[in-house]
Amino acid sequence: MVAERDLGPVATEAVAARAPDGAFDRAQRHAWWLLPCLTGALVAGSAGFVDPYLLYVATSWVIFGLLGLSLDIVWGKGGILSFGQTALYGIGGYLAGIVAINFAPLTGNTLIWTLPVGALAGAGAAALIGFFIFFSRMGPLQTTIVTYTFTLILWTGTVSFTARIGEAVVGGDNGMSNIPMLTAGFGAGAAPLGPAGMFITVVLVATAVYLAVAWLMRRPFGLIVIAVRQDDVKTELLGYDVRRQRLLLFALGGAVAGIAGALFGGWATYLNPNVFSVQQALLPPIYVLVGGRGSLFGAFIGALAVGGLSFWLGGGVIGGQTTLVLGLALIALVILLPGGLVGAARALLARCGLASVAAIPPATLGGYAGIPAASAQTALDRPGKSLTVQGISKAFGGVQAVDDVTLEIGSGSVRCLIGPNGAGKSTLLRLCMGLERPDSGSVRLGADEIARWPAFARVQAGLGIKMQRTQVFYECAVWTNLWIAAYARLGDARAAAQTAARALDQIGLRGRAHEPASALAHGEQQWLDIGMVLCLDPEVILLDEPTAGMTASETRRTAALVRALAGHAAIVVVDHDMEFVRMLDARITVLHQGAVFAEGTIAELRRDERVLDIYLGRRGGVADL
Amino acid sequence: MDLDYLAVVALSSLSSAAVLLIATLGLAVVFGLMGVINLAHGEFIMFGAFAALTASRSGLPFPLAVAAATLATAAFGVVVERVVIRRLYGRLLDTLLATWGLSLALYQTAVLIFGSVTPGIGMPISTIAIGRYTLSSYFLFLIGIAVALLLGTYLLLTRTHYGIMARAAVQDAETAAAMGIETGRLNTMTFALGSGLAGFAGAILLPAFPATPGMGFAFVTKAFLAVVAAGPVTITGTALTGGTLGTAASMTASFSATVFGDIVFFVGTLLILWWWPNGISDRWRRKL
Amino acid sequence: MLRISDATGGYGKTVIIRDVALEVGDGELVALLGRNGVGKTTLMRFAMGLLAGGRGTVELDGRRLPMAPAARAQAGLGYVPQGRRVFPRLTVAENITAAAVACKRPAAAMLAEVFEEFPILAARASQLAGSLSGGQQQILAIGRALATGPRMLLLDEPTEGVQPSIIDDIAAILQRLHRERGLSVLLAEQNLDFAMSLTSRCYVMDKGTIVRRALREDFLRDKALLHELLGV
């Protein structure tokens, strides 16, 4: 695991720094694929012992579980509440059905047509709506409503439209019939599967899809998804294009939903517009909530529970008292058990001290089994970039927060921004970073004019920021936080591990590398935040009150760190702690009421009566601004 | 295409927009003052319709039946707010889910009690003639009701103490509390107001739209879209989006088929949200 | 009149203030001084009941105040928050009315009173509060707090981001209110001169606790000490 020769200068407890490695832990590491395979095999195997009619109905439960999985992917993992998964499911089903009707007779086998078509149709439609939703940067409420709208449009459309595509007849309200039943064999003589055969086939497909998704979630992609869910602003400030990440995740969910729809068509041999109805759209959230949001396999448990319940109550899943029970169950679940059954179990485990922390699976680390020993950083020989703002202004309503500010910070130098509260310092940093749009003026990073660039583009160009409030991924381990930051810059798992290890030593947290960020003290969290910025190796660093809440010794360490960085990057520091500012020994700009008031070294400013005035508020020395 | 026909199309489109506005106002009030989208709003409308139907059948004259239905639905809203909404304060998506569950539970309950089809109470027969065409005057009456409701709500929210405090609370709940505003009680009143408006809508539209368990769904899909597309300045915003989208949709429907009208509405919403992701009134400096 | 005891609390896991105790007597003007980040605002929020998970007690006229901020406002504790926080899409008049009626004061009478006290607000009665300048918003925030009919006023950094001429206006207003109505005030401030021109007694905070109590004379005598404490 961790190379024990070099644990870094600050680590005192080797135990805490080591990732676990017993037989049990190794089994745990492989559990992610072992358990689903075993479960799938067991379930498929049970087909020999169960009544064929029950098998036939149970097949639909597995399909619904897959539909629930598609929602858990985007909602449980990604935080996007989509009411459109059944619509994607329906699209997959309809298109796969049309293709199957026309082409399946050629090969006998339907799966080779329906599965890819279902996946592509679902992914394609999801990509279209996803582009619309995520690239317009709408909020979560609008997102949900737009997915709802999408379902409504499809429902209205399919109810009214009829069409004839090849041999397939899409008959509006009457739906589409004669979809070939699932056939696994090849050739003209292949017979459709019986109840047992269909069940086994569907279980195998579901297991395969689940494994593929679980595998993806253990790749960097999955880690970024978790990061976006916890704090999308921070993720963007690391340089990730959050819109694209969400779009990819949504398309993945669409593919899974499309496959489920294709399977459904092959199972029922008939599809009608009800698949796009509101009552149907209600089901995936229930499956996910019952089973446990974010668990992925919980969706199958939920589908089983709901399907089983309605089977037992008699009558289909829609209609009859089942809808009433489901509606009330949804209310109860949301209020009482937001984590679902799995969540409740997890909470119990957490109470016993067995909580799991989002950590990086070793396979992802590109060859490293744990945290590598930090190697020395090769000296960077780059020309360095400067940051220039010119004539920048920003007003909020009637309040002029930043008033025609012009500043130049040369590469490799440090600048302190000070001024009384409300002087506009934080707003100025936010304008440089792209978190606010300026009313006028320009921002230049090196030779590029970046005033219109989105935040992540500025980060990729070499601008880094540590905001006033600590922004870390609280559910993830310390080491994971740093790795996610490093990966954003480097795109290579192995290099990211090396960079993150270096940062870990620089901030002195190697001893706590595997603990969740939420367990750190406030000052340590600030350090972790700074560490993540360091992993980006920015050429210009903006620090907004980096010593807020720090003790005196922590403040001294921060000052030392800033001075050490000063050679490689231009640094802008906003702070109120004058001791800290003194320690930095840099040029100072004083802001007052949004405008540049004075500039100079700390010695010069201490002698400047006007500066003392604005801090002490002495009258006489300050002209009415 | 003579002038009379155009006039008739225009008037009937306006009255469709009016119907939409009457149905949407309660939702807009709750969203604008509490930040909550009540997905069961349509079922509240249904509640009001059935209440008015029952009251009417037991002998009450129509105007009184409407009043009774409004109050009954408002009372029901108080119960829902206390039991469900209040526990999910701040959890926007969870509120969506819980109210969605409520909507289906209410729908199914209505089916179980009333069955799927119910007779209506019939519309007043009077009509207005425009050239060769006739329009039911009840629909024109509804235009008047919509305008009155909009004005009344606007006045309620800007001239009464309740309205001013409720608007303060939604803009800055913490500071409102520090000024002595009891946000919990206000929220209950707001939800009751929104529910009452829904009940009123169901009742007043009864002559034109017979009460069925599924009627809520038919109304509110467009109502949700109009409110979300409207943005933070909810009353004026919803009047704008509901008015324009509703009129556009209904004119399209007049010249082709209903489904095209619906599609125009839906696509229009998507376009508005593309340009103004937070709603059309995001940058407006208006009061309400 | 106002007594705070054992005030402890912060945000989430971070404890910002620890065992703070202070008192403001009837009709007194007291300042709370200290650099940014020492916990002045946290303490003010605690006094108003806005600090979730805070421990300690707040007494007004010997009676323990209930936990809810609305109840504290209605009991006579007025609040002018840091950053003003006027209701942006309410007019100036509506801002004042909202506060007045919430605390069961007659709206028309309070409006007239506040407008007389602050002509600058009367001139903009139907303007949306969000379109006012920083200094005007600050005056509105003070007027709004006064409309609740308080016996004790909590003012959190009223000079922040406000131009000097309006700072002078605010100082004059507060002095007048103190003289004419016997209003008690607890003023958290960084602007030393403003604080000293109004108050006779102050507490100095550092790192979440009160480190010093002083009278105005002490500071006039020992300016260097003061600068050091304030870290300038």
Model pLDDT for residues A22-33, shown as the tens digit of each residue: 666 666 677 788
Measure C232 CA to nearest chain B CA, in Å.
Answer: 32
Mean per-residue pLDDT for A408-425? 86
Q: Is C130 on the interface with A (CB under 8 A)?
A: yes
**A318-346, pLDDT tens digit by residue?**
556 777 888 888 898 888 877 777 777 77
Nearest-Cα distance to chain B for C220, in Å, is: 35
**Residue that finishes a domain, picked among A276, A301, A336:** A276
**What radius of gyration do chain B's Cα atoms show?**
19
- Cα gap B12→A614, rounded to integer Å: 66
Q: Which residues contact B38 (CB under 8 A, 6 or more apart)?
A: B27, B30, B44, B85, B95, B99, B191, B194
- Name the 3-class secondary structure at A569: coil
- Residue position matching structure tokens 């109004």: C198
- Whether residue A449 is contained in a domain is answered as yes
CB atoms B287 and C95 under 8 Å = no
**Residues A418-433 pLDDT 10s:** 887 777 898 999 999 9
Number of domains in chain A: 2
Q: List the chains bordering chain C where 3 or more Cβ pairs fall under 8 Å.
A: A, B
Query: Residue B47's pLDDT is what?
Result: 94
Mean predicted confidence (pLDDT) in C185-194: 86
> Sorting pLDDT into bands at 50, 70 and 90, what band is A12?
very low
Chains that touch A (3 or more CB pairs under 8 A): B, C
Q: Nearest to residue A389, comparing CAs of A572, A213, A534? A: A572
Cβ of A327 within 8 Å of Cβ of B269? The answer is: no
Its domain, for residue B29, covers: 3-213
Least confident of A53-67, A300-314, A499-513: A300-314
Question: Which pLDDT belongs to residue A482?
Answer: 94
According to DSSP, residue B220 is labeled H
Those residues with Cβ within 8 angstroms of residue A31's Cβ, 6 or more apart along the chain or in another chain: none
Rounded mean pLDDT, A112-135: 94
Q: Is C26 exposed, middle or buried (0-12, 13-18, 19+ CB in 10 A)?
A: exposed
Over 90: is that where the pLDDT of A68 sits? yes
Among A255, A276, A297, identify where a domain stops: A276
Contacts of B41 in chain A (CB under 8 A): none
How many domains does the structure of chain B reveal? 1
Higher pLDDT, A304 or C165: A304
Which of C90, C151, C156 to mutate to test binding with chain B, by most B CBs within 10 Å of its CB?
C90
Q: Which residues, 6+ apart, have CB-to-CB distance to A410 below 8 Å?
A: A386, A570
Find out whether A406 and A596 touch, Cβ atoms under 8 Å.
yes
Q: How far lies A7's CA from each of A4, A371, A505, in Å?
A: 6, 9, 8
Question: Which tens digit of pLDDT belongs to each residue from A454-480?
Answer: 999 999 999 999 998 889 999 899 999
| Same domain as A394, residue A540 | yes
Domain boundary pick from A276, A305, A335:
A276
Residues of the domain holding A64:
35-276
Tens of pLDDT, residues A190-206 = 778 888 888 999 999 99
- Looking at residue C52, the DSSP 8-state letter turns out to be T
A425-446 as b/e: b if 16+ CB within 10 A: bbbbbbbbbbbbebeebebbbb
- Average pLDDT of the residues in B3-12: 83
B266 near A CB under 8 A = yes
User: Which of the residue ranges A137-141, B19-23, C151-155 would you say has the lowest mean pLDDT?
Assistant: A137-141
Is C163 in CB contact (< 8 Å) with chain A? yes
Q: In this complex, how many residue pairs, one in chain A and one in chain B, have their CB atoms less than 8 Å apart?
A: 106
Beta bridge partners of C55: C8
CB contact under 8 A, C98 and B176: yes
Name which residue leads in pLDDT, A87 or A327.
Answer: A87
Q: Do A399 and C165 touch (CB under 8 A)?
A: no
Number of cross-chain residue pairs from A and C with Cβ atoms under 8 Å apart: 79
Distance CA A276, CA B14 (A): 30
pLDDT digits (tens, 9 = 90+) for B229-263: 998 888 899 999 999 999 999 888 888 888 888 88
Nearest-angstrom CA–CA distance, C115 and C146: 11
> Cβ of B225 under 8 Å from any chain A Cβ?
yes
Instruction: Output the pLDDT for position A381.
Output: 64
Interchain CB distance below 8 Å, A397 and C136: no
Q: Is residue B285 part of a domain?
A: no
Cross-chain Cβ contact B103/A289 below 8 Å = no
pLDDT for A257:
97
The pLDDT of A581-589, averaged and rounded, is 89
CATH code of C2-230, in short, is 3.40.50.300
Q: Encode pLDDT of B122-165 as tens digits.
A: 666 666 666 667 777 888 889 999 999 999 999 999 999 999 99
Query: In this predicted structure, what is the pLDDT of residue A455?
Result: 93
The half-sphere exposure of B148 on its side-chain side, counting CA atoms within 13 A, is 9
Give the pTM. Answer: 0.87
Inter-chain CB proximity B106 and A327 less than 8 Å = yes
Q: How confident is residue C185, by pLDDT bands cut at 50, 70 and 90? A: very high
pLDDT of residue C187: 94
* Rounded to 5°, angle at Cα A429 from A423 and A433: 155
Contacts with B36 (C-beta within 8 Å, 6 or more apart), sequence order:
B30, B85, B92, B95, B99, B191
Give mean pLDDT, residues C227-231.
61
Q: Which residue of C has its CA nearest to B285?
A: C89
Q: What pLDDT sits at residue A17?
A: 35
Residue range C83-89: average pLDDT? 91
pLDDT at B74 (0 to 100):
97
Q: What is the pLDDT of residue A292?
A: 83
Is pLDDT at A240 greater than 90 in this prediction?
Answer: yes
pLDDT of residue B10: 85
Beta strand C209-215 with C201-206 is: antiparallel
Please state the domain extents for chain C: 2-230
Q: How far is A299 from chain C (nearest CA, A)?
A: 33
Inside any domain, residue A298:
no
Which whole-number Å values give the CA distances from B242 to B22, B36, B38, B154, B255, in the listed order?
10, 19, 17, 16, 20
Taking only residues 114 to 153 of chain A, the set having a beta carbon closer than 8 angstroms to any beta carbon of chain B reads 132, 136-142, 144-146, 148-149, 152-153
Measured between beta carbons, the chain A residues lying within 8 angstroms of B105 are 323-324, 327-328, 331
pLDDT digits (tens, 9 = 90+) for A517-545: 988 887 888 889 999 999 998 999 999 98
**What is the Cα–Cα distance from B43 to B41, expressed in whole angstroms?**
5
DSSP H stretches of helix in A46-184 = 52-71, 85-107, 111-135, 140-160
Highest mean pLDDT range out of A158-167, A260-269, A560-569, C49-58? A260-269
Tell me the C-alpha distance between C74 and A225, whole Å.
47
- In this predicted structure, the answer to whether residue A505 has a pLDDT above a threshold of 60 is yes
Two structure tokens written together for A445: 């990073």
pLDDT greater than 90 at residue C227: no
Q: What is the overall mean pLDDT for chain A? A: 84
What CATH number should be reported for the domain holding residue A491?
3.40.50.300
Q: Indicate if ipTM > 0.85.
A: yes
Residue A111: predicted pLDDT: 85
The pair of structure tokens assigned to B225 is 């879209």
Q: Which of A469, B93, A351, A576 is nearest to C12 (CA)?
A: A469
Q: From the CA atom positions of chain C, what is the Rg in Å?
A: 17
What is chain B's mean pLDDT, rounded?
Answer: 88
Angle of CA points B224, B226, B228, to nearest 5°: 65
Task: Kindly report the backbone phi and psi dihedral angles of residue A540, in degrees, each rounded to the nearest multiple of 5, phi listed first.
Answer: -135, 125
Please tell me the distance in Å from C169's CA to the nearest CA on chain A. Answer: 13
Domain annotation covers residue A374: no
Chain C nearest-CA distance from B271, in A, is: 27
| Residue A216: per-residue pLDDT | 92
Amino acid type, A422: G
> What pLDDT does residue B208 have?
84
User: Running DSSP on this structure, what letter comes out for residue A181?
Assistant: P
Lowest average pLDDT, out of A25-34, A203-212, A549-558, goes to A25-34
**A61-70, A336-345, B81-90, C204-213: segment of lowest average pLDDT:** A336-345
Q: Percentage of residues in chain A with pLDDT exceeding 70?
A: 88
Q: Are A612 and A478 within one domain? A: yes
Dist. CA B267–CA B244, nearest whole Å: 13
Find the residue in A nearest to B271 (Cα): A132
Interchain CB contact of B101 with A (< 8 Å): yes
User: Given CA atoms A306, A312, A313, A314 in this order, what sign does their dihedral have?
Assistant: positive
pLDDT exceeds cutoff 90 at A411: no
Whether A21 shows a pLDDT value over 60: the answer reads no
Who has greater pLDDT, A312 or B240?
Answer: B240
Q: Which of B86, B97, B263 to mutate to test the interface with A (most CBs of A within 10 A)?
A: B97
Q: How confident is the model over A335-364, as a mean pLDDT?
A: 72
Q: How far apart are CA A497 and CA A2, in angstroms?
A: 12
| pLDDT at residue B123 in the model | 60
Higher pLDDT, B210 or C85: C85
